[in-house]
Amino acid sequence: MIENSVLVVGAGFAGAVHARVLAENGYKVKVIDRRNHIAGNCFDYVDNVGVRVHKYGPHLFHTSNTKVIDWITRFGEWSHYKHRVVARLESGMVVPLPVNIHTVNKVFSVDLQTLEEAGAYLETLCDINSGSENAESYLYSTIGRRLTDLFFSPYTEKMWGIPLRSMSPSVVRRVQVRLGWDDHYFPNDHFQALPTRGYTELFQSIMRHDNISADLDRSFSDEDRHNYIHTFNSMAIDEYFQYRLGSLPYRSIRFHHDRISAQQAPSHVTINYTDQSPFTRETWWHNLPDHREQETGQCIRTKEEPCNYVDNSFERYYPIKTADGVNEKLYEDYKRAAMNIDNMTFIGRCGTYQYLDMHQVINQSLISAERWVERQKEL
């Protein structure tokens, strides 16, 4: 065992934050990652058409957590950006998402103008007797069948691979319905921005410390942890235990990239689909601030096709939460098994089987690393 040394498995936000906090507290940190790059799912690059692309789908930073803001802004310049999403209807018309007054007016051909009018009209659409035991019944009771079946049912079934009625209500509660005109996707977060030079450069800055070294293209072996006083492990917890209790399911995404003339590109960043195609949305990267590095007359559209992670080289993106909670129960079994392992902590989305935004991962990781450092001082 190397004295005063810690192993971090995974170079995404969970791993990078742990590594930096530990390094600043005097620990020698080795970071390993099975991929050939740092930044995890936030990894981005500039394509040969001169546009920065997020390899694993759009990552839009937003938070009101001042601790997270103060910490992350230490490592680079940030560009203000408030995200908007539209949905394309069968007619070709695009309307704002989440659902707001403008969306309701367009779908139902009405002319609502005030919060009171919108609230009263929405009540006429709701099925108050449907309950809220699953995502479908919850939405029927809050926005009605027409809006649910248009904006949530086909999208959710494509995204999660199961019907809306089998989903936990917690999944759709993330996308709130608005009774006003504000069409921003994250209206309540006062810090909404993107790293000016991209996420990859941001991660390079986070991991630029004399006490941090990285070893990429390297998978974790259980023998590794015996060489360090502690291991923070962001790999999938069921994979670590070789699936002995069963597999924790995830959804994954296949990305389809098109190079298109800039003259044909829309002004939107994200367009959701309401159709029955296998795709859920498209992203136009050049419309994000600082993402056009060079004028080439071309831009990139990325279409997303959700799939089972097993069918996509075990690329895990989204833990699946069902109405019966069976997957969370399985995770709890793995969590109890992990408590019997000396000197290892599971971290991040895959290590804790949670659907977490970036700011949530950073916050959890800051708390985790700082608490561990304090406990070491007490020993």
CA atoms lying within 13 Å on the CB side of residue 248: 31
What's the rounded Cα separation, in Å, for the pair 229 and 343? 7
Buried b (16+ CB within 10 A) or exposed e, 25-57: bebbbbbbbebebbbbbbbbebbebbbbbbbbe
pLDDT at 1: 67
Can you give the C-alpha Rg of the chain in angstroms? 22
Tokens 């996308």 map to which residue?
Answer: 175
Every domain range in the chain assigned CATH 3.40.50.720: 5-38+207-245+322-378
**CB count in 10 Å sphere of residue 207:** 22
Interstrand relation of 61-63 and 191-195 (parallel, antiparallel or unpaired): antiparallel
Burial class for 72, CB neighbours closer than 10 Å (0-12, 13-18, 19+):
buried
Strand, coil or helix: 217? coil
> Beta strand pairing status for 281-284 and 270-273?
antiparallel
Residue 303: in which H helix or E strand, if any? strand 298-308
- Predicted pLDDT at 47: 96
Angle of helix 115-125 relative to helix 101-108, nearest 10 degrees, comes to 50
Distance, in Å, from the CA atom of 142 to the CA atom of 177, rounded to the nearest integer, reads 9
Report the alpha-carbon distance of residue 232 to residue 14 in Å, rounded. Answer: 9
The topology under which CATH files domain 5-38+207-245+322-378 is Rossmann fold (3.40.50)
CA–CA gap between residue 100 and residue 175 (Å, rounded): 11
* pLDDT tens by residue, the chain, 379 residues: 678 999 999 999 999 999 999 999 999 999 999 999 999 999 999 999 999 999 999 999 999 999 999 999 999 999 999 999 999 998 899 999 988 999 999 999 999 999 899 989 989 999 877 777 889 998 998 889 999 999 989 998 999 998 999 988 888 877 677 788 888 999 889 999 999 999 999 999 999 999 999 999 999 999 999 999 999 999 999 999 999 999 999 999 999 999 999 999 999 999 999 999 999 999 999 999 999 999 999 999 999 999 999 999 999 999 998 889 999 999 999 999 999 998 999 999 999 999 999 999 999 999 999 999 999 998 7
Tokens of 308: 């089972």
What is the pLDDT at residue 4? 92
**DSSP code, position 102:** H
Task: Determine the Cα–Cα distance for residues 118 and 100; give it in Å rounded to an integer.
Answer: 9
Contact yes or no for 82/287 (Cβ under 8 A): no
- Residue 93: Cβ-neighbour burial (10 angstroms; 0-12, 13-18, 19+): exposed
What DSSP assignment string belongs to 44-73?
EEE-TTSBEEETTS---EEE--HHHHHHHG
Q: In terms of DSSP H, where are the helices of the chain?
A: 13-24, 66-72, 101-108, 115-125, 135-142, 145-151, 153-160, 169-172, 199-206, 237-240, 326-338, 348-352, 358-378
